[in-house]
Structure 1
Amino acid sequence: MNTPPHEQSRRNAPDGQDRGEAPAGLVMAARTPWFDLTECTGNRTVRWEDGERVGEAPMTLDTYHDLASVTKIVATTTALIRLVSDRLVDLDAPLSAYLARSYEAITVRDLLLHRGGLWEWWPLYIQPQLPPPRYRPGRARRYSDLGFILLGQIVEAATGLRLDRAVAELVTRPLGLTQTTYARPTGTEVAMSALDDRIEMTMLDSGRPYPVPYRSTDFARWRHEPVLGQVADGNAYHAFDGVAGHAGLFSTVPDLLKYCAALSRYEEHDRLWRPEVVRAFFAPGPDPEQALGFRRYALDLAGETVTVLGHPGHVGCAIGFVPRRDVALVMASNRLLVEGAPTPADDLWDDLLQAVTRRSRSA
């Protein structure tokens, strides 16, 4: 699920302005050649008594988290790096080369750059047929869940496997990510993802931030109880049984650090992919803050400005790494467990980047 524009704008709020309610639980971790940072606070699940939030179970480093849109890079983008390396997917091929009756004017590269012109979001559990593009393809970056849903389907078409099996064979198993799984986390310690489906219901009823022609009354299977051990994203859960290209993965902080370290040291894994293909995925596109699948962030580290590649997720996780510098960064939270406005994920991610900058100056 995309972060609504009103939340995105909050990241530029003046210092001291209310950023929203703090997450119930928060983990921040960094692994660098100069120092390690690990902070784990709060609770992974909560309950409410007389309008007050009461902790039920503490957050730990081994807690499983709903990665939401972090799935876009850990699963889908990384799988495509492997498939492009094996020449099974061509970045400049039209989508119709892999998906019958799909868009002719949109390429795989367009979707990875979020320049396909597709709608940002659409309730596929109400109307499973994708709508026509909302914008002219290739003209501007319009962050789109639909684009990564299609990319997940391209991974399936290229491998002949269901997406969860393809990601296991292409990504998680080769990288030793034993705690990274689709749809149903295997551990008992799972962070609560959301209070219920209220956010998605409100998006439909308000028409904001995306004016789709449906309302919450058009769907009958809403979750009215806490979302625990299930993906929060409505399309991933209600339309795709928890397995989709844009959302659905669960993982732990140690596994995410392992993933980031592997991507940082990508040249050491040339048995999995061609390094020149990885470098092409890491390079900036027409929008400097967007690579192929990955977002790009500037980070002041050890006296120089480096580029972090990564991605945030709506539920409250974000990851990043610095290529060839052995730097891995992970932030995990359950920021949606609030009655008011939650702290934007981008703000929490910025907090980690700033903490890393401060530590690097004193290391």
Structure 2
Amino acid sequence: MSASKIAAVLRKCREQRAFSGAAYAWGTASSVVESGTVGTLSWDGEPVQPDSLWDLASVTKPIVALAMMKLLEEGELRLDDTIAYFLPDYAGTDKAGITLHQLLTHSGGIPGQQPLYKTAATAEALMEAVKRLPLRSKPGTTVEYTSQGFMIVGAVIEAVTGLPLQRAMQETVLAPVGMSRTLFNPPADLHPRTAATEQCPWRGRLVRGEVHDENCVVLGGVAGHAGLFSDIGDLIRLCQTMLRLGDSGKGRYLQPATVMQMTRNHTSGLNLARGLGWQAKDRFGSPAGDLFSSASFGHTGFTGTSVWMDLEADVFAILLTNRVHPSRENEAMGRVRAIFHNLVVAEAQRGGDAAQQ
């Protein structure tokens, strides 16, 4: 496969209007084998650049989970601790005994896909609505993907650190890993460098430089489930830190045991495969595609973003797109992701075979 095959496939996907623009990269713990950009930041906009910013959407979740694992290493919490231990307002609720492990693996029974922004006008009202959501299942019995649960993860991090989540993330994850261009609420001067997302019916305008997720908007653009913006270079640093078992390249960020614990499948007896903040690879329908191994892990974002990696194979794949531009009704991304991941793994294995010859 030529080095431009991935770019050619992504250009074809753009022609089919899967997204207006994309940035991608793949490589190993020590090198970036290929990276590139395709298309424009909006359908009538400027070309995508290597430093273009993307709304990560739910790729925020595993980055926030890194903060919790760092606090675990520092002795501030354990996975068996409960929500109510850190958030006394939850005492006496049906969520009081949900553990941090269950929050991070989406197995706490908290419903997902809740448009709380429609009735909650303030951050306080929205978090109160999260607290009052009736559980859908008994904690520990099923996996239901829930942004609402990760809103609570963010609140726990704030309680443990005594800091607003934005500052806690900067101090516990972004600065130590070297993700200097990853941030919440990009200032206005960065908006022209940011990929456009949806022509939003709720806001009545095209969203660009502001978080796409409506619940996150009500939470001030900073939350445990969404809100981070980043570029391809910072996500390469994230992936390589994971592949190096916690070594950021400028010092040790996490211990290898922590990375191994975080990235294994913790829900093998349940309906979906989940690590701690990360998606593990499901047997069917995984965004990882067909060729990434069952030990691989990653995460996707609603806006069209994803990271995926495999510790044993020493490979990472990053694809950043704006598939919700101008409408979230575009459903082509599932197929695009799988094909992209298949191409990366096939090329990585070709490279490995060539190196052995």
TM-score normalised according to structure 2 size: 0.80
1:145-294 matches, within 5 Å, as 145-184=147-186, 187=190, 188-196=192-200, 198=201, 222-237=202-217, 239-268=218-247, 271-287=252-268, 289-294=273-278
Kept in 1, the 8 Å contact 2:289–2:339? The answer is no
Provide the C-alpha distance between the structure 2 equivalents of 1:248 and 1:273, rounded to a whole number of angstroms.
23
Deviations 1:205-224 (A, max 9, x none): xxxxxxxxxxxxxxxxx311
- Taking structure 1 as reference, are residues 324 and 180 closer, same or farther at Cα in structure 2, changes over 3 Å only? farther
| Long gaps (5+) in structure 1 | 1-19, 47-54, 199-221
Q: Which residue of 1 aligns with 2:114?
A: 122
**Contact persistence 1:68–1:314 (CA under 8 A):** yes
Instruction: Supply the distance in 1 between the matched residues of 2:312 and 2:247 (Cα, whole angstroms).
Output: 10
CA deviations 1:316-344 (Å, max 9, x no partner) are: 10012222654222100010114583134
Q: Deviations over 1:225-247 (max 9, x none)?
A: 1000000000101x211000000
Write the distance in 2 (CA, Å) between the matches of 1:35 and 1:58. Answer: 22
- CA shift in 2, pair 1:274/1:359, >3 Å: closer
Distance 2:294 2:106 in 1: 23
2-structure distance, mates of 1:101, 1:306: 39
Moved over 6 A (4+): 298-301
Matched position secondary structure for 1:277? helix
CA spacing shift, 1:121–1:354, aligned 2, 3 Å: same
Deviates more, 1:184-193 or 1:250-259: 184-193
How large is the RMSD of aligned CA atoms in angstroms?
2.3
2:103 paired residue number = 111
Q: Which position in structure 2 is the counterpart of 1:5? A: none
Q: Does 1:30 align with 2:26?
A: yes
Identify, as 1 or 2, the structure richer in helix: 2
Q: Within 5 A, what are the aligned runs for 1:291-310?
A: 291-297=275-281, 305=293, 307-310=295-298
Quote the Cα distance in structure 1 between the aligned partners of 2:83 and 2:342.
39
Partner of 2:285: none
The structure showing larger relative contact order (alpha-carbon pairs under 8 Å, at least 6 residues apart) is: 1
For 1:268, give the aligned amino acid. Answer: D
| Matched residue type, 2:159 | A
Q: 1:157 to 1:344 in 2, by over 3 A?
A: farther
- The Cα of 1:116 is off from its aligned counterpart by 0.6
One-letter amino acid matched to 1:171: V
Alignment partners' CA distance in 2, 1:26 and 1:43: 8
| Deviation of 1:251 (Å) | 0.2
Whether the 8 Å CA contact 1:312–1:345 is kept in 2: the answer is no
Q: 1:229 to 1:274 in 2, by over 3 A?
A: same
- CA offsets, 1:40-67, max 9 Å, x none? 2111123xxxxxxxx2211122110000
Q: C-alpha separation between the residues in 1 aligned to 2:65 and 2:108?
A: 16
Aligned counterpart, 2:12:
none
Provide the C-alpha distance between the structure 1 equivalents of 2:135 and 2:298, rounded to a whole number of angstroms.
26
Task: Give the aligned partner of residue 302 of structure 2.
Answer: 314
The number of aligned residues is 308
Q: Mark the CA change 1:156 to 1:345 in structure 2 (over 3 Å): closer, same or farther.
A: farther
**Helix, strand or coil for the counterpart of 1:101?**
helix
* Greater share of strand: 1
